[in-house]
């Protein structure tokens, strides 16, 4: 039996149970066994449809072994996550996190998250541009121009760190700079999209084209991994710095995810379409089951890929966890600064 690290349940009318050291997926009604995954190797369970039932034994076993269970809507919107209640029992880091909004630690983190996003956007464009230099000179030069446009906003963000300001005093200017850089990045993304897939520009909510639907679905999967990394680091997923606080809004997850969108999801989606793979949508504009399954596997495989991290080569999910712990250490005063993750190109 092949080693299964990520179990994906995307078929309506199935049941997840536990039997003899394995999670078992069966069809409700007939009891037909569809799949088994040894708990020894399992790292996550992703439930990406409605109509799936879970046994208490399966949930308890996953909690005891530290295996998160994520729930996504058919559009990729995160619905819930199940993990051990003991993971939320830390308090020292959360006290430091909440107090950081009242001093410059909060502003430093907000700017670091924005700079990480801007620099990784430029790095993904560089990554794509190096393959265009010999094949499409016009596209190469256009990408170089867009990379420069994206990086122009670095100086603007860095300038916000000068003086004794707090995050709330500069958040509008910070989000404005980050948003303008993103506009140029998505222009560059279009240059990298060499397939014939429709691209109407970046759409978030209500997207009905395959590329934006794939991006949104991929971000939903990444969201779960970021939330878990925050919890494991002792952080409160709802206490952010770059994104404003609102009831029910996981602001810190939305902050930290910015460093990883390009490397984990955007690069995966570009490869998906540029290699000629098709993503099918149903009549409601939702990704169909087979396409969701294929895309989820690619994003999860990308999370398991190794990348340079300082002097080491680590999986992306390990890098994500290191970054969450670095945020926590900075907030507790154990590090002098926080540096965002920068992808190689």
Confidence (pTM): 0.87
Per residue in 92-104, pLDDT tens?
999 999 999 899 9
The whole-chain average pLDDT of the chain stands at 90
3-class SS of residue 32 = coil
69 or 281, which is more confident: 69
What band does 88 get if pLDDT is binned at 50, 70 and 90?
A: low
Query: Of the candidates 50, 67, 84, which is a domain's last residue?
Result: 67
Per residue in 182-209, pLDDT tens?
999 999 999 999 877 788 899 988 788 8
Q: Measuring CA to CA, which residue among 294, 264, 265 is closest to residue 280?
A: 294
**Of 1-15, 26-40, 306-320, which gets the smallest average pLDDT?**
1-15
pLDDT for res 87: 64
323 or 87, which is more confident: 323
Q: What is the CATH number of the domain that holds 245?
A: 1.20.120.920
Same domain, 196 and 59: no
Answer whether 85's CB lies under 8 Å from 64's CB.
no
Same domain, 154 and 18: no
| Residues whose CB falls within 8 Å of the CB of residue 214, separated by 6 or more in sequence, listed in order | 269, 272, 273, 279, 287, 295
Per residue in 135-167, pLDDT tens?
888 999 999 999 999 999 999 999 999 887 888
Same domain, 58 and 159: no
Q: Is the pLDDT of residue 1 over 70?
A: no
pLDDT for res 195: 78
Question: What torsion do the CA atoms of 109, 114, 120, 121 make, to the nearest 10 degrees?
Answer: 170
Q: Is the pLDDT of residue 290 over 90?
A: no
Domain count within the chain: 2
């Amino acid at each position: 039996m092949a080693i299964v690290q990520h179990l994906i349940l995307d078929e309506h009318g199935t049941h997840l149970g536990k039997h003899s050291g394995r999670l078992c997926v069966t069809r409700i009604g007939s009891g037909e066994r569809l799949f088994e995954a040894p708990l020894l190797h399992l790292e996550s369970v992703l439930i990406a449809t409605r109509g799936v039932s879970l046994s208490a034994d399966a949930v308890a076993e996953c909690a005891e072994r530290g295996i998160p269970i994520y729930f996504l809507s058919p559009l990729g919107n995160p619905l819930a996550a199940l993990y051990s209640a003991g993971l939320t029992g830390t308090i020292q880091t959360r006290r430091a996190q909440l107090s950081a909004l009242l001093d410059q630690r909060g502003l430093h983190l907000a700017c670091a998250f924005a700079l990480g996003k801007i620099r990784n956007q430029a790095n993904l464009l560089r990554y794509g541009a190096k393959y265009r230099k010999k094949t499409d000179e016009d596209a190469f030069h256009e990408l170089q121009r867009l990379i420069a446009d994206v990086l122009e906003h670095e100086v603007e963000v860095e300038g916000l760190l000068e003086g004794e300001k707090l995050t709330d005093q500069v958040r509008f200017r910070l989000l404005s700079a980050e948003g303008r850089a993103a506009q140029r990045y998505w222009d560059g993304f279009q240059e990298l999209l060499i397939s014939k897939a429709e691209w109407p520009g970046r759409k978030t909510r209500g997207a009905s084209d395959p590329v934006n639907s794939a991006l949104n679905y991929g971000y939903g999967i990444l969201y779960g991994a970021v939330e878990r990394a925050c919890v494991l680091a002792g952080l409160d997923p709802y206490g952010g710095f770059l994104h404003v606080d609102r009831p029910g809004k996981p602001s810190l997850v939305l902050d930290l995810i910015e460093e990883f969108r390009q490397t984990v999801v955007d690069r995966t989606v570009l490869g998906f379409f540029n290699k000629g793979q098709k993503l099918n949508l149903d009549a409601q504009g939702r990704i169909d089951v087979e396409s969701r399954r294929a895309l989820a596997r690619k994003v999860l495989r990308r999370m398991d890929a190794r990348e340079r991290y300082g002097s080491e080569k680590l999986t992306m999910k390990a890098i994500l966890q290191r970054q969450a712990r670095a945020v926590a250490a900075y907030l507790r005063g154990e590090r002098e600064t926080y540096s965002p993750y920068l992808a190689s190109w």
